[in-house]
Amino acid sequence: MSDTLQLAQQLIARRSLTPHDEGCMQIIGQRLEKIGFKLELLRCGEVDNLWARRGSSGPLLCFAGHTDVVPSGPVEKWHSAPFTPTVRDGMLYGRGAADMKGSLAAFVTAIEKFVEHHPGHQGSIALLLTSDEEGVALDGTVRVVEALQARGEKMDYCIVGEPTAVSKTGDTIKNGRRGSLSGTLTVKGVQGHIAYPHLVKNPIHLAAPAIAELASTEWDKGNEYFPPTSWQISNIHGGTGASNVVPGTVEIEFNFRFSTASTVDSLRARVHAILDKHGLQYDLLWSLSGKPYLTPRGNLVDAVSTAIKTVTGIDTELSTTGGTSDGRFIADICPQVLELGPLNATIHKLNECVAVADLDHLSDIYRLSLENLLVKAA
In sequence order, the β-bridge partners of residue 286 are 183
| Positive or negative torsion for Cα 261, 265, 267, 273 | negative
How many residues would you count in the chain?
378
133, 134, 339, 364: which is the annotated catalytic residue? 133
Contact 223, 253 (CB under 8 A): no
134 is catalytic: no
Residues in Cβ contact with 267 at an 8 Å cutoff, skipping those fewer than 6 apart? 181, 219, 229, 256, 258
Q: Who's near 348: CB < 8 A, 6+ residues apart?
A: 70, 99
Question: Contact 128/330 with Cβ under 8 angstroms?
Answer: yes
Buried b (16+ CB within 10 A) or exposed e, 68-100: bbbebeeeeebeeebbebbeeeebbbbbbbbbb
Q: In sequence order, what are the residues at sequence separation of 6 or more whose Cβ sits closer than 8 angstroms to the Cβ of residue 295? A: 175, 176, 301, 335, 336, 337, 338
Rounded distance between C-alpha atoms, residue 109 and residue 32, angstroms: 10
Closest of 226, 205, 42 to residue 129, by C-alpha = 42
265 assigned to active site: no
- In sequence order, which residues have a C-beta less than 8 Å from that of residue 138 and are 6 or more positions away? 132
Instruction: State the maximum Cα–Cα separation within the chain, in Å, rounded to a whole number.
Output: 83
Residues 22, 48, 68, 112: which is the catalytic one? 68
Secondary structure (H, E, C), 3-69? HHHHHHHHHHCCCCECCCCCCHHHHHHHHHHCCCCEEEEEEECCEEEEEEEECCCCCEEEEEEECCE
Q: What is the DSSP letter of 75?
A: G
Residues 83 and 11: their CA atoms lie apart, in Å, by 9
Which residues are tagged catalytic? 68, 133
